[in-house]
């Protein structure tokens, strides 16, 4: 038994609150939450002046790219939506049909790894960093259209080595984890 849709004003009020909590929720997810069509959600967003998901991501991402020292914005796979240098970061990657194996329609691993590695490098508070070691595990298949949310956390720093863990989730389920040891090759940092 499905729930009854809310009246328009109440729905729009709750829509604003939901997008404040999670600006990266899709129109499809919102339509399921509110038990209305995707078109209704799009009309609500238009009336409220709320941009589509891609624009919301770009706005947040552009604010964060200026903080990054180790890697150029064009080299990052996904959109950086939050970053605190030396501590943590979050990126989002919308997968597409050109990222998949033709036969299985599963996203190729190098795209997933590239999102994790580029986020790990981006969170480092150093001018130059390279991946020294990567211990990775793919936990579930990812398909075109899946939205990958990667979260990186700097676990510790020892000399010029940064130990960074990255977890990627799809629909709140962990799909990938990577433990990286990144080496800073800045001239002013040495062991």
Mean pLDDT value of segment 5-28: 85
Query: What distance in Å separates the CA atoms of residue 147 and residue 140, rounded to the nearest whole number?
Result: 14
Q: Is CATH 3.40.50.2300 correct for 8-50?
A: no
For 45-104, what is each residue's pLDDT tens digit? 888 888 887 777 666 666 655 566 667 667 788 888 888 888 999 999 999 999 999 999
Quick one: tokens of 42?
A: 């799009």
Q: Determine the pLDDT at residue 82.
A: 85
Topology, domain 60-184: Thiol Ester Dehydrase; Chain A (3.10.129)
Name the band, by pLDDT with cuts 50, 70 and 90, for residue 36.
Answer: very high
Structural domain boundaries in the chain: 8-50, 60-184
Quick one: tokens of 175?
A: 């799909």
Do 8-50 and 60-184 fold alike per CATH?
Answer: no
Query: What distance in Å separates the CA atoms of residue 70 and residue 52, rounded to the nearest whole number?
Result: 30
1 pLDDT above the threshold of 60: no
pTM tops 0.75, yes or no: no
């Amino acid at each position: 038994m499905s729930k009854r849709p809310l009246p328009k004003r109440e729905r729009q009020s709750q829509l604003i609150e939901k997008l404040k909590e999670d600006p990266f929720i899709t129109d499809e997810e919102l339509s399921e939450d509110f038990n209305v069509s995707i078109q209704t959600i799009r009309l609500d967003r238009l009336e409220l002046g709320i941009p589509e998901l891609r624009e919301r991501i770009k706005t947040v991402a552009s604010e964060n790219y200026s903080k990054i020292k180790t890697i150029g914005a064009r080299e990052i796979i996904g959109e950086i939506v939050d970053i605190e240098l030396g501590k943590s970061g979050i990126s989002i990657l919308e997968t597409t049909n050109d990222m998949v194996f033709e036969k299985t329609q599963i996203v190729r691993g190098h795209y997933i790894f590239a999102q994790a590695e580029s986020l790990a490098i981006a969170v480092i508070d150093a001018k130059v960093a390279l991946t020294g070691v990567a211990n990775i595990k793919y936990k579930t298949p990812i398909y075109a259209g899946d939205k990958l949310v990667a979260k990186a956390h700097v676990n510790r720093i020892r000399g010029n080595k940064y130990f960074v863990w990255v977890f990627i989730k799809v629909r709140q389920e962990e799909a990938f984890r990577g433990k990286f040891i990144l080496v800073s090759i800045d001239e002013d940092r040495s062991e």
